Structure 1
């Protein structure tokens, strides 16, 4: 019997590997595998979601009008310069659907966010990964050199997930000067709230200088709404209009919209939590360096251990402890570790010292 077959590009897609979760029959794990914030949701956010749940029998606002308006106000742009979707991954998919198709190329750094080589062929385009530099940074000159007549989109991740370095202002400006304006540049700023390096490119300010630039951001990280799925793109109205046309109707639920709006109201409280993570970042990095790890400078809520061939064995050993310590290994490359609470970070350092 002959059954329907998928497009070859879809059949060959790499699998997205989520952060590990604990087993149901063991102690709750120390979960440092998914770049979540270690704190539970704010009571005000839970309250807003509970209130929204009372109307869950009704469709949500398909256009998320209030959320678009609030984000535009926060970012000092017009509402038609914002496109909201079900997480920044979905927003990036909408961008690729709007601007790429068969025969087109999408350039991005590698190793970077593992959704990139999945989303690109789904859109029908061809992925062009460009290796990172030896210090785990984007090689922007090489990325610019990889642009061809077929290139439609270039994705730049700052800070880079999973290695951590951010893109500096000067190198970004040099890069944009090399990229033709017909090419859409997507600056993925999923971790922008955790950045403290004053030399990091300011994506919002760069929008005024570069008409072919779009930013993507998320409520999943700093705002602690990983389970709600809300992300957004920001750019000129001309660039954003086709992206909005690709958004799946009703894809941002009424609960997610309520959570995002309540989070914007609680911005100061949430940024205090972000600051707690940022404060822990150098302490964890220095402790790991004392164990002999060559940790790149990171501007996200995670650190990168360049473990090479030891990545999976180390992750498995950590997961085999009681309680399990869950991290995110990348085969033959390294391990990404989310910054947790001080107690969780101390547990990680102790466990790694015992494995040395």
Structure 2
């Protein structure tokens, strides 16, 4: 078979062990997953009510235009319905963008480390990948990213807050960057963790969209909205940009249950605000722990924190997993001495912090 040369050594996404896997492996009755930045408080009761009270015909295709969801999201964001592109998670939106704009002879610019699907999709499309390392504080080096752009560049990816650091791009920095980006380049601003941001100097991307038509924003229902299992993400852009991307979208990519769940979720902004408050308090728990133990961490605007333990992240990961707490090793994220920990409930945070202290005590004895 004549496979694309660029996919010969491409690895499939490797999901972590499930909670059931860990229970069986270590003979545990209870496991807490703090690895995938899911919402520890679940989802809005609106979603639960929708699922209990709506009888859906499973033999009928879903609404290919996602009209109800489209209108609700457009109303919530004060944008036109035609400015929205829905995906099976924001992963699919990234895939659609890549398929539309990237290919042999094209280049794309991104930070490193960052969300790996930008690079993954660029490889599949055969584009040249230009990666610009984060600065020592974990921030995008926008000046160097500008220097990496040339006539072949089709897409620049900005993840803010960035995964896996939790750092974000400041308002003034972003405006200066957008002013300097050539008009032929699409700037994708990935805001998967937008709902958790509290920084005063965070930009208003929807307002910027009015002045920069080459900007496209991606968001998701998988994080703060707590419906990752339904896979709903979306892009927000000018009607012209969305109009070019829409034909590439699969006809029925968001199933009926997913559309209904997301429609119910977006109506409960009080739940989102409550999650934001709890998340800030949870981050403070980890900050206090790091400061007490002299560990470096990256202040986060997301619902996770990256902590440097000074030893292999795999070692920390394995120890915590053996105690029933699944986190994400930094070995696979570009930070080999760190782990990324999703902020859980107050109790979950205290529990995993206690296990981290146990690990540090054992390290001191070695």
Give the TM bin, normalised by the shorter chain: over 0.9
Q: What is the rounded CA distance, in whole Å, between the counterparts of 1:346 and 1:42 in structure 2?
A: 24
Q: Is residue 106–residue 120 contact of structure 1 (8 Å, CA) maintained in 2?
A: yes
- Listed as ranges, the gaps of 5+ residues in structure 2 are 361-366
| 2:18 alignment partner in structure 1 | 21
- Listed as ranges, the gaps of 5+ residues in structure 1 are none
| 1:223 alignment partner in structure 2 | 225
Secondary structure class of the residue paired with 1:185: strand
Q: Is residue 109–residue 145 contact of structure 2 (8 Å, CA) maintained in 1?
A: yes
Q: What is the rounded CA distance, in whole Å, between the counterparts of 1:308 and 1:107 in structure 2?
A: 30
- The range that moved more, 46-55 or 86-95, is 46-55
Q: Is residue 190–residue 219 contact of structure 2 (8 Å, CA) maintained in 1?
A: yes
Give the alignment's Cα RMSD to 1 decimal: 1.6
Task: Provide Cα deviations, 1:236-279, integer angstroms capped at 9, x if missing partner.
Answer: 00111121111111110000000000001222223312321122
| 1:334 alignment partner in structure 2 | 338
Per-residue deviation, 1:102 = 1.7
Q: What is the rounded CA distance, in whole Å, between the counterparts of 1:35 and 1:176 in structure 2?
A: 29
| 1:248 alignment partner in structure 2 | 250
Per-residue deviation, 1:67 = 1.2
2:347 aligned with 1:347, yes or no?
Answer: no
Provide the aligned length of Structure 1 versus Structure 2. Answer: 351
Task: Provide Cα deviations, 1:102-137, integer angstroms capped at 9, x if missing partner.
Answer: 221111111111222211122332222111101111
The alpha-carbon distance between structure 1 residues 114 and 289, as it changes in their structure 2 partners (threshold 3 A), is: farther
| 1:325 alignment partner in structure 2 | 325
The alpha-carbon distance between structure 1 residues 35 and 51, as it changes in their structure 2 partners (threshold 3 A), is: same
| 1:44 alignment partner in structure 2 | 46
Q: Is residue 93–residue 123 contact of structure 1 (8 Å, CA) maintained in 2?
A: no
Q: Is residue 20–residue 33 contact of structure 1 (8 Å, CA) maintained in 2?
A: no
Secondary structure class of the residue paired with 1:295: strand
Q: What is the rounded CA distance, in whole Å, between the counterparts of 1:109 and 1:56 in structure 2?
A: 42
Secondary structure class of the residue paired with 2:296: coil
Q: Is residue 298–residue 305 contact of structure 2 (8 Å, CA) maintained in 1?
A: yes
> For 2:61, which of 59, 62, 84 is the aligned residue?
59
| 1:88 alignment partner in structure 2 | 90
The alpha-carbon distance between structure 1 residues 20 and 300, as it changes in their structure 2 partners (threshold 3 A), is: farther
- The range that moved more, 34-43 or 47-56, is 47-56
Q: What is the rounded CA distance, in whole Å, between the counterparts of 2:356 and 2:244 in structure 1?
A: 48
Secondary structure class of the residue paired with 2:228: coil
Q: What is the rounded CA distance, in whole Å, between the counterparts of 1:183 and 1:78 in structure 2?
A: 23
